[in-house]
């Protein structure tokens, strides 16, 4: 298939591009490089630009005879979305709707969309199934939910076939070690802990040890970035006119912040000092996927079932790229 990957220079998008290429698809990439890196794009034809640039998107859709779009381009930090919601509504909603309109004009009606477990807010039931009510507690979650609703309406009215894939915590790196996670500033737990292991930070701060969880730190479901990619491929193959796929992507197993730090100690063999800090606003105590529906619908199961091999791939990347991607060009 001819696939346009929007946000293909970012963390998850760059792994997706490689997987698409290896699976025999032809790929074009559009990324504004606001958080992505040209060096992360290892295949396909790269365009730097904005997804709301209708002329540019139109020319890419035509030139590459695009049949499907995968959309990873979004702002995805809960705290930032609370502080600057305008940025989130502009990037995640307005720009995405512009992308959908460009697709509609050219009759490109297959979309795999990066959604999030943040659309559930504070879940009533954990593990979280797709039947859990979607009630976001921050602007980030709302922006993703708005697009999910738009996609349902586009499916009904225009015959769009879409998959809204609700990620839990993306983690790890390509086993080759040449692409991985690089954010500036970094805010995610595993890369921060590994930066402590590398001696780049004095300690990791645990955001609260008074949560209603077994060891009183927050629990998350960490899913390897290539497993996310494999689920996208499976979803892509199932899209036809009017198809609606809405699935949680996680392993079904949760790890507390303390458990994550302990796994990182075991993998790196380094001392990783920790300090206890206050809770981070907007953090739900426990987010773990009920992963059964994705397996049933997609025939997909994460290859990385436990955290240790996921952290091993991340550590491989961080050791070989202690300062992330080369930013000199």
Minimum CB distance to ligand UDP smaller for 99 or for 204: 204
Q: Which of 283, 301, 305, 309 binds ligand UDP (CB under 6 A)?
A: 283
Strand partners, 112: 70, 163
Determine if 280 is a binding residue for ligand UDP (CB under 6 A): yes
Q: Decide if residue 207 touches ligand UDP (CB under 6 A).
A: yes
Contact present, 168 and 228 (Cβ < 8 Å): no
Which parts of 95-124 interact with ligand UDP (CB under 6 A)?
Answer: none
Per-residue HEC secondary structure of 31-64 comes to ECCCCCCHHHCCCCEEEECCCCCHHHHHHHHHHC
**Burial group, residue 177, by CB count within 10 angstroms (0-12, 13-18, 19+):** middle
Closest by alpha carbon to 240, among 146, 173, 155, 117?
155
Residues 249-268: x/- map of binding to ligand UDP (CB under 6 A)?
Answer: --------x-----------
Instruction: Please tell me which residue in 11, 88, 120, 140 is annotated as part of the active site.
Output: 140
CB 169 → ligand UDP: shortest distance, Å? 5
- 188 touching ligand UDP, by CB under 6 A: yes
Asked whether position 203 contacts ligand UDP by CB under 6 A, the answer is no
Q: Which contacts of 22-27 are long-range, i.e. CB under 8 A and separated by 24 or more positions?
A: 23/233, 25/1, 26/1, 26/2, 26/64, 27/3
Among 28, 40, 206, 291, binds ligand UDP (CB under 6 A): 206
Q: Which two tokens stand for residue 175?
A: 């086993």
**Tokens 């709302």 map to which residue?**
142
Output 70 or 206, the one with its CB closest to ligand UDP: 206
Which of these ranges, 128-136, 187-195, 239-247, 310-318, lies near ligand UDP under the rule CB under 6 A?
A: 187-195
> Any catalytic annotation for residue 255?
no
State both tokens at 314: 């991340």
The closest alpha carbon to 114, from 11, 220, 240, 254, belongs to: 11
Residue sitting closest to ligand UDP (CB): 218
d(CA 217, CA 235): 34
Q: Which is nearer to ligand UDP, 6 or 206 (CB)?
A: 206
β-pairing, 204-207 vs 274-277, is parallel
* Single residue of 15, 220, 232, 258 touching ligand UDP by CB under 6 A: 220
> How many CB atoms are closer than 10 A to CB 192?
20
Residue 224 found at the interface with ligand UDP (CB under 6 A): no
218 binds ligand UDP (CB under 6 A): yes
Check residue 187 for interaction with ligand UDP (CB under 6 A).
yes
- Give me the active site residues, please: 140
Sites of contact with ligand UDP (CB under 6 A): 78, 169, 187-189, 192, 204-207, 218, 220, 257, 280, 283
């Amino acid at each position: 298939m001819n696939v346009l990957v929007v946000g293909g220079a970012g963390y998850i998008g760059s792994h997706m591009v490689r997987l698409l290429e290896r699976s025999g698809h032809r790929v074009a990439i559009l990324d504004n490089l606001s958080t992505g890196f040209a060096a992360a794009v290892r295949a396909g034809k790269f365009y730097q630009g904005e997804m709301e640039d209708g002329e540019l998107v139109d020319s890419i859709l035509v030139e590459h005879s695009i049949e499907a779009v995968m959309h990873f381009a979004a702002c995805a930090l809960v705290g930032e979305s609370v502080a600057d919601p305008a940025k989130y509504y502009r990037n995640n909603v307005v720009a995405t709707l512009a992308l959908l309109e460009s697709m509609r004009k050219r009759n490109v009606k297959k979309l795999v969309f990066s959604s999030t477990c943040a659309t559930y807010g504070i879940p009533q039931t954990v593990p979280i199934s797709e039947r859990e009510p979607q009630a976001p507690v921050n602007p980030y979650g709302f922006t993703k939910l708005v697009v999910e609703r738009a996609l349902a309406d586009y499916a009904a009215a225009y015959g769009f076939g879409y998959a809204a894939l609700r990620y839990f915590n993306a983690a790890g790196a390509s086993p080759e070690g040449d692409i991985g996670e690089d954010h500036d500033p970094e805010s995610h737990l595993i890369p921060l802990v590994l930066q402590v292991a590398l001696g780049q930070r004095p300690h990791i701060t645990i955001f609260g040890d008074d949560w209603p969880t077994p060891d009183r730190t927050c629990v998350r479901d960490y899913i390897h970035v290539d497993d996310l990619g494999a689920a996208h491929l499976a979803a892509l193959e199932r899209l036809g006119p009017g198809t609606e796929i809405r699935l949680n992507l996680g392993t079904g197993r949760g790890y507390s912040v303390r458990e994550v730090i302990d796994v990182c100690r075991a993998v790196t063999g380094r001392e990783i000092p920790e300090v206890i800090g206050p809770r981070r606003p907007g953090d739900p105590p426990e987010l773990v996927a009920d992963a059964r529906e994705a397996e049933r619908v997609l025939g997909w199961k994460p290859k990385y079932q436990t955290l240790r091999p996921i952290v091993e791939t991340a550590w491989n990347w961080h050791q070989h790229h202690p300062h992330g991607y080369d930013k000199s060009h």
